[in-house]
Chains A and B, each alone.
Chain A
Amino acid sequence: METDILIIGAGPAGLAAAFEMASKGLDVTIVDESITMGGQLNQQTQVIPSLPSSFQSMRGFELAAHLTKQLEEYDIRYLLGHRVIGFYKDGSVGITDEQDVFAVKAKKIIVATGAAENAVAFPKWTLPGVMTIGAAQTMINRDFVQPGKEAVIVGSSDFALDAALQLSEVGVHVKGFIEKNAGILSRDLEKIEQVKKMGIPIYLDSFIKEARGMGAVEEIEIEIGTRVLTEKVDLVCVDGGRSPILDIFYQLGCSFGYQKELGGWVPQYNHQFQTDRQDIFLAGNAAGISTQGVLLVTGMLAGINVCEAVGAITKTIADEEKDFLWKELEILETKYNPNIWEARNRHMENFAHPVIKEQFLS
């Protein structure tokens, strides 16, 4: 199979990039291991704050539907339920439908593989009933399954608060937040207020000392300063933050740099969202963990850069669009957390001297 552009990942960034390119007449193929488009947006029932100016305010799953719909009029090849499992020597991408493997030759590739949740380990953390906040959210919002009755949340980020609110809405009793830092991580004052109003305690400087249970989590010991609190729970949702999913970049031999604020190791890229492999671009959380609004803008930027690189639009038009989008990206990201915007700029400046390169050299 041949295509102008292969997009790996049909989440918000991948779909935004697809729109930019398909609308400029490029031949686009999207591959995603899920059978639905929109990625993590599908289980996000909360209203997404701070979308780009061209979007109305909407909830996550509505945004997924919107991004999918705006591609309808274009002739895009969808490989849903397919996975990229490697690369051939000639650079073709190896994709499997879980039965067979076939090669896809693309002029340019945009990698928008998103982020993976980091776990938080504690003794007996492998007991069933311990899961990430994303998993709990998927269960209630996508699969309509209640993951437990009595829960605690480990962490206090925006996502942790969202998960707690949504769990409460479906009848799960949230007995507290356990935050190892001295302050709440979320910057959303409204949400913090909402949580406090519901009477959910937020334990700071605290952590789970141990979970106990036969075959499933039954109770946990929480260490809060010098005291220990025992809670009966059947659900522990952990929020260890998220990190870019890097496997594809690693396989492609891309370089990496480390930026804590962007989620740790991040592929090295320049202002064109291009890696040090000239034919490989990236977008979304894979380019550094940020908010949904920012992810969309990075997708658009990557799409426009690819359009320019293959000559689908002129430099003048591309520059005009990019100027606008970079301003928007700065506003959205700075508003959310200026440290992330600074880290992103630092990361792009480091393009010329990556920390990890030639990782395959013996």
Chain B
Amino acid sequence: MDRSYETIIIGGGVVGSSIAYHLSEQTKEAVLVLDQKFPLSGTSGSTQAWVWVHNKTPSWYAEFSMYSAELYSYLSKKIGDVEFKRTGGLSPFFNEADREKAVRLAEAYEQIGIKIKVLSREEALEKEPFLNPDVVGATYSAIDGNVNPFRLVDRYMRAAKKNGVQYSTYNKVTEIQKMPGKFIVVSEKGEFSCKNLILAGGTWSRELGKLVDVNIPINQLRGQILVTEPLKPFLNYTISGLRQAFNGEVLIGYSMEQEGFNRATTLDVIQETANMAVHYVPSLKKAKVVRAFSGIRAMPEDGFPILGKIPGVENLYVAATHSGVTLSPLIGTLMTELILEGETSIPIDRYSISRFAK
């Protein structure tokens, strides 16, 4: 394996692998991705993988998410089938008081070009007949959907490798040295050098930042997800909280717990989650749950992506975010522009890590 690269990306999850792929499309310079385990063994492989826009707040963040979601159809053409389905997203509400909030959301988002419809009870039930008839209404957006996260990351990796990107897996980075004009990255499998260094460590970003004395304020937020037996297709939309996968399984879950890196599942949350599902879609009461798993979200302190150059250290970049599946096509594109051209086609100043400096 070579030891010298133009660019090294630490982290091969959905964000790191997307950057690797998009970079490899534009440059023939050598790129290496380092992963402490294997891509998909962490957050990217334990997610419902919604491509979700419509009730992201505030509107500028929804707009950013929308640009990414819109790249998906094109991405599938380039890297292959990732089972992306633009199902449309449905957020039901069960309280008449929520309608006004929904209307305000729809009005605000109309201005930035995201069409959100506030559905009546009848309209919601017509779209999704298995919803609880007690539903009062729902917000609906055609832009939302979901993807198979395993295929997505695998396709990013394959496409990147085809373009010459190298991966070194089960290889934890233990030290980073800044030298004039280059970085020395010390890993369990030896030293590598590079001009550009991108930190895409997801949930481990804070630990990674410490190696370069930079505070990357990413916390861990656990989510537990239930998987049902495969059922005949009966849910048409990606519903906030659950979706039916390609193979018929229904994925359910929207829990949030601060448990560090602990990926255990607990019956407390499993039962709560099952109750939520039955409340939304009563006929799920008959379904058998065959599996439960946890994933650890990478949650920036203020909830928004941390993207771009790290001020004060030349050629050092960070890409750490929640909603990595939704945002990966755009983040990969923008980070590539930033590295190769020094600027991005869509402004990302708002997402700079400098916002945390006090």
Contacts and interface: CB of A to CB of B under 8 A. Distances in A.
Q: Do A and B come from one complex?
A: yes
Interface of A: 85-89, 94, 101, 103, 251, 253, 360-362
Nearest to B43: A362
A362 B261 contact: yes
Given A362-B42, A362-B220, A251 B262 contact: no
B266 interface: yes
A85 B262 contact: no
Category for how many chain B residues contact A: 10 to 19
Given A88-B268, A253-B264, A362-B42, 16 more contacts: A85-B267, A86-B266, A86-B270, A86-B292, A87-B267, A89-B268, A101-B267, A103-B267, A360-B261, A360-B262, A361-B261, A361-B263, A362-B43, A362-B203, A362-B263, A362-B296
B294 A88 contact: no
Contacts, number: 36
Nearest to B294: A360
Interface in B235-267: 261-267
B177 interface: no
Contacts of A85: 267
Contacts of A253: 264
Contact of B263 (A101, A103, A360): A360
Contacts of A87: 266-267
B73 interface: no
A88 B263 contact: no
B264 A251 contact: yes
B265 A251 contact: yes
B2 to A, nearest CB: 29
Nearest to A94: B267
Interface string B207-223: 00000000000001000
Nearest to A90: B268
15 contacts: A85-B267, A87-B266, A88-B267, A88-B268, A89-B268, A94-B267, A101-B271, A360-B263, A360-B294, A361-B262, A361-B263, A362-B203, A362-B261, A362-B295, A362-B296
B166 to A, nearest CB: 24
Contacts of B263: 360-362
Nearest to A253: B264
Contact of B266 (A89, A101, A362): A89
A266 B50 CA distance: 37
A86 B293 CA distance: 12
A361 B261 CA distance: 5
A86 B262 contact: no
Interface string B33-56: 000000000110000000000000
Nearest to B46: A362
Interface string B287-320: 0000010111000000000000000000000000
A253 B265 CA distance: 10
B267 A86 contact: yes
A29 B206 CA distance: 46
Nearest to B203: A362
Contacts of B262: 360-361
Given A360-B294, A362-B43, A88 B266 contact: yes
A240 to B, nearest CB: 23
- Minimum-distance CB pairs A-B, first 4: A94-B267, A360-B263, A362-B296, A86-B267
A251 B292 CA distance: 11
A58 B268 CA distance: 45
Given A362-B43, A362-B220, A86 B265 contact: yes
A103 B266 CA distance: 12
B20 to A, nearest CB: 21
Contacts of A251: 264-265
Contacts of B292: 86
Nearest to B289: A85
A87 B270 CA distance: 10
A341 to B, nearest CB: 34
Contacts of B266: 86-89
A88 B264 CA distance: 11
A179 to B, nearest CB: 35
Nearest to A360: B263
Given A86-B270, A86-B292, A101-B271, A360 B264 contact: yes
Nearest to B42: A362
Contacts of B296: 362
A329 B120 CA distance: 71
Contacts of B295: 362
Contacts of B265: 86, 251
Nearest to A92: B267
A251 B262 CA distance: 12
Nearest to B257: A89
Nearest to A252: B264
A361 B263 CA distance: 6
Contacts of B271: 101
A87 B267 CA distance: 5
A253 B295 CA distance: 16
A117 B267 CA distance: 28
A85 B296 CA distance: 22
B283 to A, nearest CB: 18
Interface centre among B262, B264, B292, B296 (most CB of A within 10 A): B264
A344 B292 CA distance: 32
A256 to B, nearest CB: 15
Contacts of A89: 266, 268
Nearest to A96: B267
B201 to A, nearest CB: 11
A89 B262 CA distance: 12
Contacts of B267: 85-88, 94, 101, 103
A330 B248 CA distance: 51
Contacts of A360: 261-264, 294
Contacts of B268: 88-89
A86 B271 CA distance: 11
A361 to B, nearest CB: 5
Contacts of B220: 362
